[in-house]
Every structure is written in structure tokens, then in C-alpha cells.
């Protein structure tokens, strides 16, 4: 056994992408075992590897962890990306949960019926511009620090960068009205571990294409 | 500033109920007023249900003794959260969809979630899910069990360890008090709750089952 975490999921972003981001930001190398057909998932289930018969599953430190939040919480705690005390953790949790809501909304666009896609996207981008980004711009403005919480890199910063980039895939000028978020993005993207993750050949996955959906449904349904 | 945590929500279960459970189990008294899950606690205005629950669990020593115990608790809570999540929209469904959703949730509970927790208890033979002591995972599981039993009174048949677990956790003094009439525990959402939520949030008019 290599000692590296092993990620079990399909070869797509889905619910595993935040885990990839966080491990990468923490400088932790990991392996991936991709589910390619229904039988691959079935095998994990019958092995008893999946507590609730679901992936994501991450083998880490002798555990077979499931539940994305649990996995992210563990990684963040282990690699000191979760604040220094309960109160910093509370702030981080608030920011991360808000970002997860936005991220999920954006990601759902690809599975909307054709006649609803445009409206759905407009709604998601509106929320990004008027509900979420202003909050984080204000946080940065109010304390004037480089990072969201405790003047130090945390998972909240990593999730914020991830979310900004996903929104920009749909609207490249999404940060036009948010100067502090723009400099946050530039700063974060330049950090060595994250810079490496943003380069071609890294474990970072591309956006989901519609043509991939039938195969994914075949694995997961 | 109030010394007791202040809960802002509708006068119903929704996403605030797990928070009431956890505070009650920790023996913390609360006030309540208005809007979306928001809790004023220790000088902070906390939003986001998960952030609130994590904080309360951490503060009142219901979150395990180390990272690995926290990992287990987070996994177990994730499962019960998913299960109870299937019921969040229930009050807003049509009568016909309610029947379908009920069957769906009971099936998931009895084929996926309850077996997992029964096995956890069986494998270590202890009274609590994690670390041989009461944690948030136990409280959340009890909440989920009782919610399921409201839909199917014999939901735990076939799960003897969960039945014993339910009895045991229900008789912990703070929880026993929460389960007694007159506590902050909310009843099943009724039409008045549905109407209020729809009116205030201006949504949930056309909710489809899972």
C-alpha cells in the first residue's frame, strides 16, 4: 500500500472535485480508481466498502470514508486548513456551506431540460453576483486580510477559488464588480500547490459534457 | 446580548429541528423568533444549518475526542441527514405524492440506512455509535428514527439493536425532557406551517417528490 489516499469515483468532477482540490491545496498526492461501468460500483458495494452504498469514497488513514462533507472535514482538520479554534471553524463552515449551495446550483445546469437551461443559468449567475460574491467581497474588505478566516489559508479559501473558477466557466467576467475577489483569485492561483493543480495533466477534471451523461447514469442508476 | 442561544426560524421543524435536538440534548435552553435557520450564540450570528450544528456539537463535547472519531460522527450524521432530507419537502407535496414519497423514504431507511447503523452497533457492541460515549451521531440517529416511525410505526422491526438504542437514548435525561410535551420539539408540519413558509419565502408552491 502506497500510503496515499485513494479516491473512488467516476472520472468526472461530480461530488469528488472539492476533495481533489483540497488534497491538492494541502500538497497531498493521491491515487484515483475510476468507476467505468456499473459492475465497478457493484463490486465496491458487495465488498462492504461503502457504508451507505454510495460514492464518493476515499481510502485514507486506514478508513474507508464516505459522505463528501465528512471526507472534506477530515482532510481539512488533518492538514490544518480548518481554523485554529471552534469559532474560526464556525466561520469557515458558514462560508463553505454557502459556497456549496452556489456550486451545486451551477453544476445542476448541465442536467436541466433544454428549454429550462437558459433560465436556470441566469438564476444561478444572478445568485452568484448578488447574493454570494458580495458576501465574500465584504468579508475581505472588512478585515483587509489575504485569506477569508484567521489571516491564514483555510479550506474556505480553496472552496471559494474553486467556485469562482466554475462560475467563470459560464461567465468569464463574473468578477467584474469585485476587485478584492479578483486579487484573491490571482493570489490563490499563484500559490505553488494550487498553481500546480491548475496546470494541464493535474487531477483536476474538466467540466461535464452532455455526451458523458448516459455513461454516468449507467454506472449510478 | 442574550446569554441563551436565540433561534431564528419558522415555528416548525424544517432545517432547524436538528439544531433544537442537539441543543436540547446538550441541556442548553433557547429563545426563538422568526426567519431562516439563524442562531445567535456566543456573540456570533451563525447561519447555515451544518455550521450551526458543527459548532454546538464541538462546544458541548458531542463531536468525539479526535479527528478520527469526528470523521465517524460526520459520516453517520451525513447518512441520517440524507435520510431526513428526503422528508424536508414532504409537507409541501400533494396528497398523492406524499404516499409515494413515504414509501420511498421507508424503503431507503430499511434497506440502506438502518442496516448500516445496526451493523455499527453490532460490530462494536457498545451503547453509542462512536467512542463508547454520547455524541451528536446518536442524537441525530434518534431524531431520524422517530421521524421515520411517524411515517411507519414499525420501521425498526428487524433492527433489534436500533430498538434498544432508541430506548436507551430516549431515556437520557435531557433527551427525555425534550421528548416530553411542552418542550421546544416541533410537531409534524401542518397546513398552517406550509402556508407560512410559502408566504414568507414565496416558494415551494410546486414541489415534486424525490
The DSSP annotation for B46-102 comes to: EESHHHHHHHHHHHTT-S-SSHHHHHHHHHHHHHHHHHHHHHHTGGGS-HHHHHHHH
Predicted local distance difference test score (pLDDT) of residue B123: 98
pLDDT of residue B1: 42
Query: Counting runs of H as helices and runs of E as strands, what totals does chain A give?
Result: 10, 4
Q: Model confidence over B128-164: pLDDT tens digits?
A: 999 999 999 999 999 999 999 999 999 999 999 999 9
Question: Residue B33: is its pLDDT beyond 60?
Answer: no
By 3-state DSSP, what share of chain A in percent is helix, strand and coil, each rounded to 5? 55, 10, 35
Which has the closest alpha carbon to A137: A191, A88, A183? A183
Mutate which: B44, B45, B57, B78, vs A, most A CBs within 10 A: B78
Q: Is A131 an interface residue toward B (CB < 8 Å)?
A: no
- Across the A:B interface, residue pairs with CB atoms under 8 Å apart total 69
For residue A5, name the pLDDT band (cuts at 50, 70, 90): very high
**Predicted confidence band of residue B34 (pLDDT cuts 50, 70, 90):** very low
Asked if B74 lies within 8 A of A53 by C-beta distance, the reply is: no
CB pair distance less than 8 Å for B50 and A98:
no
Packed helices A86-107 and A117-127: angle between N→C axes, nearest 10 degrees: 160
**DSSP E strands, A61-164:** 63-66
Query: What's CA B153's distance to the chain center, in Å?
Result: 18
Q: What angle do CA B144, B146, B147 make, to 5 degrees?
A: 65
Kindly tell me if the per-residue pLDDT of A212 is higher than 60.
yes
The span from the CA of B155 to the CA of A141, in Å, is 52
Q: What is the mean pLDDT of residues B75-92?
A: 93
- Banded pLDDT at A207 (limits 50, 70, 90): very high
- C-alpha–C-alpha distance, residues B78 and A14, integer Å: 17
At residue A196, does pLDDT exceed 90?
Answer: yes
Identify the bridge partners of residue B31 per DSSP, sorted by sequence position: B6
Helix axis angle for B49-59 and A86-107, nearest 10°, is: 160
Residues in A closer than 8 angstroms to B77, CB to CB, are 70
Per-residue model confidence (pLDDT) at position B197: 79
- By a Cβ cutoff of 8 Å, what residues of chain B touch chain A? 42, 44, 46-51, 54-55, 58-59, 67-68, 70-71, 74-75, 77-79, 82, 112-113, 116
Q: Please write the tens of the pLDDT for every residue from A77-106.
A: 999 999 999 999 999 999 999 999 999 999
* Residue A67 at interface with chain B, using a CB cutoff of 8 Å: yes
Is pLDDT at B171 greater than 90 in this prediction? yes
On whether any CB of chain B is under 8 Å from the CB of A87, the answer is: yes
Q: Hey, are the CB atoms on A93 and B50 less than 8 Å from each other?
A: yes
d(CA A175, CA A165): 10
- Percentages of chain B per state (helix, strand, coil), in multiples of 5: 60, 5, 35
Distance CA(A77)–CA(A58), nearest Å, equals 15
**To the nearest whole number, what is the mean pLDDT of chain B?**
89
Q: How confident is the model at residue B6 (pLDDT cuts 50, 70, 90)?
A: confident
Contact residues for B170 (Cβ-Cβ < 8 A; gap 6+): B142, B176, B179
Q: Cβ separation of A69 and B78 shorter than 8 Å?
A: yes
Among A1, A2, A4, A10, smallest CA distance to A26 is for A4
Between CA A82 and CA A91 the distance in angstroms is 10
Amino acid at each position: 500500500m502506497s500510503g496515499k489516499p485513494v479516491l473512488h469515483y467516476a472520472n468526472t468532477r461530480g461530488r469528488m472535485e472539492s476533495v481533489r482540490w483540497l488534497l491538492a491545496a494541502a500538497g497531498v498526492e493521491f491515487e484515483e480508481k475510476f468507476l467505468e461501468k456499473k459492475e465497478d460500483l457493484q463490486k465496491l458495494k458487495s465488498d462492504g466498502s461503502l457504508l451507505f452504498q454510495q460514492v464518493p469514497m476515499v481510502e485514507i488513514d486506514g478508513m474507508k470514508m464516505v459522505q463528501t462533507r465528512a471526507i472534506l472535514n477530515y482532510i481539512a482538520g488533518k492538514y490544518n486548513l480548518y481554523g485554529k479554534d471552534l469559532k474560526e471553524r464556525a466561520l469557515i463552515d458558514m462560508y463553505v456551506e454557502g459556497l456549496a449551495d452556489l456550486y451545486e446550483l451551477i453544476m445542476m445546469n448541465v442536467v436541466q431540460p433544454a428549454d429550462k437551461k437558459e433560465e436556470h443559468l441566469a438564476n444561478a449567475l444572478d445568485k452568484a453576483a448578488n447574493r454570494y460574491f458580495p458576501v465574500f467581497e465584504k468579508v475581505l474588505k472588512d478585515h483587509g486580510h489575504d485569506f477569508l478566516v484567521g489571516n491564514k489559508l483555510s479550506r474556505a479559501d480553496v472552496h471559494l477559488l474553486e467556485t469562482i473558477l466554475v462560475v467563470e466557466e459560464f461567465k468569464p467576467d463574473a468578477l467584474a464588480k469585485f476587485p478584492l475577489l479578483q486579487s484573491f483569485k490571482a493570489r490563490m492561483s499563484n500559490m505553488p500547490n494550487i498553481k500546480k493543480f491548475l496546470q494541464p495533466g493535474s487531477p483536476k477534471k474538466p467540466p461535464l459534457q452532455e455526451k458523458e451523461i448516459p455513461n454516468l447514469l449507467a454506472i449510478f442508476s | 446580548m442574550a446569554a441563551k442561544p436565540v433561534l431564528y426560524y419558522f415555528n416548525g421543524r424544517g432545517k432547524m429541528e436538528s439544531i433544537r435536538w442537539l441543543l436540547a440534548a446538550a441541556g442548553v435552553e433557547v429563545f426563538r423568533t422568526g426567519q431562516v435557520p439563524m442562531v445567535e450564540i456566543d456573540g456570533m450570528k451563525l447561519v447555515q444549518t451544518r455550521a450551526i450544528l458543527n459548532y454546538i456539537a464541538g462546544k458541548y463535547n458531542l463531536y468525539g475526542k479526535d479527528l478520527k472519531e469526528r470523521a465517524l460522527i460526520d459520516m453517520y450524521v451525513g447518512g441520517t441527514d440524507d435520510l431526513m432530507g428526503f422528508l424536508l419537502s414532504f409537507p409541501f407535496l400533494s396528497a398523492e405524492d406524499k404516499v409515494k414519497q413515504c414509501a420511498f423514504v421507508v424503503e431507503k431507511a430499511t434497506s440502506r440506512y438502518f442496516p448500516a447503523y445496526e451493523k455499527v452497533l453490532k460490530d462494536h457492541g457498545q451503547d453509542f455509535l462512536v467512542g463508547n460515549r454520547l455524541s451528536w451521531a446518536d442524537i441525530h440517529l434518534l431524531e431520524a428514527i422517530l421521524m421515520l416511525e411517524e411515517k411507519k410505526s414499525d420501521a425498526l422491526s428487524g433492527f433489534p439493536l436500533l430498538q434498544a438504542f432508541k430506548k436507551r437514548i430516549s431515556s437520557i435525561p435531557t433527551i427525555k425532557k425534550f421528548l416530553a410535551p411542552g418542550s421546544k420539539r416541533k410537531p409534524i408540519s401542518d397546513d398552517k406551517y406550509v402556508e407560512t413558509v410559502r408566504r414568507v419565502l414565496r416558494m415551494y408552491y410546486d414541489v415534486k417528490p424525490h
